[in-house]
Structure 1
């Protein structure tokens, strides 16, 4: 996934016009919900290395009513108060938290939040759960979505089969950390990892994450009769594992060590004496993801597909042209196929929010092979 210059100009123009649109908006109440305008936050000027967390963001374990989900990074942000500790956050809160804590490129971070908000949140009130269903995130107005809003833990979207620390939803717990899967991850670290201050084979590298991801996909395809590797997962699964090398690595050493992995993945807290990356991170994520995907594809069947009734992994039907021209184009099409179609027929602040979020997705994943901006066209299931 790349952000092309033309796309950057497009999104910048959209954002510059946004205050004019929202300034004309009046208070909107629908189905007892009050519309909340979404804005693209200003990028922080401090983009260098620094120790995280600071004194204002101590670790506090989540309470029984706090939402946590399948993403260790989101859970860590909530556990340290970079986003609300109850796990219910706005587009702006999550976007800025990713930048502040991990030095993630703001456009890429905004894309991740925007896509999730459209698939699994409520863009009318600008709320999303990083876990499951919550009364704090009401269903979409006018019944254009599910009767509850699923949150990041709802199966499908970015969450899906072949996780490194969560089970497939049809055969286990897809939300909470699974020790047995993490133990397998550590076996591959012990076999392929680099040597470091913590001992031999204790530093994550490309060979390790390639072996981990290949094992995840291959073992789950065999164990899960309903295994489905959608176009979204074909991209997201490899971006996720590249985060281990490029976002979770200590910025002072550029290494993700055994203890660092345990801190983020198992304990969902920032490691001691950890520093974020020294510059905003984007190209390393996509480059690493592409390298791992290519390596895995050279060893096992890898495509957008599903298990048939006999347990054979078979391809999904391709998307229509031009979205069948590349993995990224199929990914873009599949994202909008999972967003309730009713979102495309909104008005007022609701429409402004949907249009902004849609443009943020297009700005990152749209490319010359499929330079056609989509509107949500999926089922009423979010």
Structure 2
């Protein structure tokens, strides 16, 4: 029964058209979760989300494996959520153990955000896009370079920057999942990135990739870190 029900879940895509959030709808620092809410795979108002709702959306729509999705959910509910429920805006809570963290690709650091904590910042996102070497695609190396830059920027310009091993891991994990969700042949088109981050919707004709499990996540994260090491090595040689 359970498998039959989950197999029918989200089968009628006509029920999951994009609707921009209203002023009173709750949204998170994560464009992926916001896109899920904007399409109705999570409650459209972004409120009263159970771990089970999030699990199904991440697996059935995003293509994450059960364990990969569960790992994200465990972190999400670690510092927020009451009685097993959370609103997406809860995830903007800033701490050394929260999903929201400094050094984001599209959000300002919490203490520098002027009460816009967790909100999309166009200038910062444009800086992320500027790492594309050809202006058309973001490769694994481009995303790694952006991650290096924003981490260094936070450490240099945010006196209250929060950083630890957990945040370092999250930085690369998020980038790996981003490449999985939007990437084709190891790169993300600029147009797809704009739709995903600016409108928080899925690119036209987007289809989820095969299940993205812990092993695939490890390999993708390793590829990003290797690219980062190569960038650091070239930088050291040029100095």
Q: What range describes the TM-score normalised by the shorter chain of this pair?
A: 0.7 to 0.9
Q: How does 1:111-260 map to 2 (within 5 A)?
A: 111-122=71-82, 125-131=83-89, 151-156=90-95, 157-172=98-113, 173-189=116-132, 191=133, 200-249=134-183, 255-260=187-192
* Deviation for aligned residue 1:247: 1.6
Q: Which residue of 1 aligns with 2:26?
A: 67
Measure, in 2, the Cα distance between the counterparts of 1:289 and 1:222.
Answer: 25
Q: Which residue of 1 aligns with 2:237?
A: none
Secondary structure of the corresponding residue to residue 102 of structure 1? coil
* Deviation for aligned residue 1:292: 2.4
Q: Is the CA contact (8 Å cut-off) linking 1:239 and 1:289 kept in structure 2?
A: yes
Aligned with residue 57 of structure 2, among 76, 92, 97: 97
Q: Is the CA contact (8 Å cut-off) linking 1:52 and 1:270 kept in structure 2?
A: no
Q: Is the CA contact (8 Å cut-off) linking 1:247 and 1:281 kept in structure 2?
A: no
Taking a change above 3 Å as real, the CA distance of residues 289 and 99 of structure 1, as seen in their structure-2 partners, is same
Does 2:201 align with 1:291?
no
Q: How large is the RMSD of aligned CA atoms in angstroms?
A: 2.4
* Deviation for aligned residue 1:86: 1.2
Q: Is the CA contact (8 Å cut-off) linking 2:140 and 2:187 kept in structure 1?
A: no
Q: Is the CA contact (8 Å cut-off) linking 1:159 and 1:233 kept in structure 2?
A: no
Query: TM-score under structure 1 normalisation?
Result: 0.54
Query: TM-score under structure 2 normalisation?
Result: 0.85
Q: How does 1:228-377 map to 2 (within 5 A)?
A: 228-249=162-183, 255-277=187-209, 279-282=210-213, 283-296=215-228, 299=232
Q: Is the CA contact (8 Å cut-off) linking 2:131 and 2:138 kept in structure 1?
A: no
Q: Which runs of 5+ in 1 are unaligned?
A: 1-40, 132-150, 192-199, 301-382
